[in-house]
Structure 1
Amino acid sequence: MNKFVVAAGTLMLSAWAWMGLSTAAENAVKLPAPAFDLPKGTESARETAVFAGGCFWGVQAVFQHTQGVLNAVSGYAGGQQATAHYDSVGTGRTGHAESVQISYDPKQISYGKLLQVYFSVAHDPTQLNRQGPDSGTQYRSAVFYTSPSQKEVAERYVAQLDAAKLFHGKIVTQLAPLTAFYPAEAYHQDYATLNPGSPYIARFDLPKIANLKSVMPEVYLDKPVLVSSQTAR
Structure 2
Amino acid sequence: MRRLLLAGLVPLAVASAIAIPSYSQPAAALERPVAAPTPNRFANEGSGLQTAVFAGGCFWGVEAVFSHVNGVKSAVSGYHGGNAATATYERTNTGVTGHAEAVRVVYDPKIVRYDQLLQIFFSVTADPTLRNRQGPDRGSQYRAALVPMNAEQRRVAAAYLKQMQASGKWSSPIVTEIESYRKFYDAEDYHQDFMVKNPRHRYILRWDKPKIAALKQMYPSHYRSTFVRN
Structure 2 residue 42 is the aligned partner of structure 1 residue 50: no
Matching residue within 89, 102, 108 for 2:111: 108
Structure 2 residue 94 is the aligned partner of structure 1 residue 91: yes
Change (3 A) 1:157 1:133: same
Letter in 2 for 1:98: E
Structure 2 residue 128 is the aligned partner of structure 1 residue 125: yes
Q: CA deviation at 1:44?
A: 4.5
**Which structure 1 segments of 5+ residues have no match?**
228-233
Question: Is the 8 Å Cα contact of residues 25 and 136 (structure 2) preserved in structure 1?
Answer: no
Matching residue within 23, 36, 60 for 1:16: 23
User: What secondary structure does 1:177 align onto?
Assistant: coil
Structure 2 residue aligned with 1:34: 39
Structure 1 residue aligned with 2:204: 201
Q: CA deviation at 1:207?
A: 0.4
Structure 1 residue aligned with 2:10: none
Mapped partners of 1:92, 1:53: distance in 2:
15
Mapped partners of 1:147, 1:18: distance in 2:
38
TM-score by length of 2: 0.90
Deviation per CA, 1:195-214, whole angstroms, max 9, x where unpaired?
11111110000000000001
Structure 2 residue aligned with 1:158: 161
Mapped partners of 1:135, 1:67: distance in 2:
31
What RMSD over aligned residues (CA atoms) do the two structures have, in Å?
Answer: 1.7
Structure 1 residue aligned with 2:17: none
Deviation per CA, 1:69-110, whole angstroms, max 9, x where unpaired?
000000000211111111110000010000000000111110
Change (3 A) 1:85 1:127: same
Of the structure 1 ranges 161-170 and 15-24, higher mean CA displacement relative to structure 2 is found in 15-24
Structure 2 residue 72 is the aligned partner of structure 1 residue 65: no
Q: CA deviation at 1:45?
A: 1.4
Deviation per CA, 1:17-48, whole angstroms, max 9, x where unpaired?
46445222xx1111222101214xx4251100
Q: CA deviation at 1:165?
A: 1.2
Mapped partners of 2:121, 2:217: distance in 1:
15
Mapped partners of 1:224, 1:19: distance in 2:
31
Mapped partners of 1:179, 1:192: distance in 2:
27
Structure 2 residue aligned with 1:181: 184
User: What secondary structure does 1:29 align onto?
Assistant: coil
Change (3 A) 1:170 1:90: same
Q: CA deviation at 1:215?
A: 1.2
User: What secondary structure does 1:16 align onto?
Assistant: coil
Mapped partners of 2:68, 2:219: distance in 1:
11
Q: CA deviation at 1:216?
A: 1.2
Of the structure 1 ranges 15-24 and 92-101, higher mean CA displacement relative to structure 2 is found in 15-24
Deviation per CA, 1:109-164, whole angstroms, max 9, x where unpaired?
10100101111111111111001110000000000111111111001001001001
User: What secondary structure does 2:102 align onto?
Assistant: strand
Change (3 A) 1:62 1:18: closer
Letter in 2 for 1:28: P
Question: Is the 8 Å Cα contact of residues 6 and 199 (structure 1) preserved in structure 2?
Answer: no
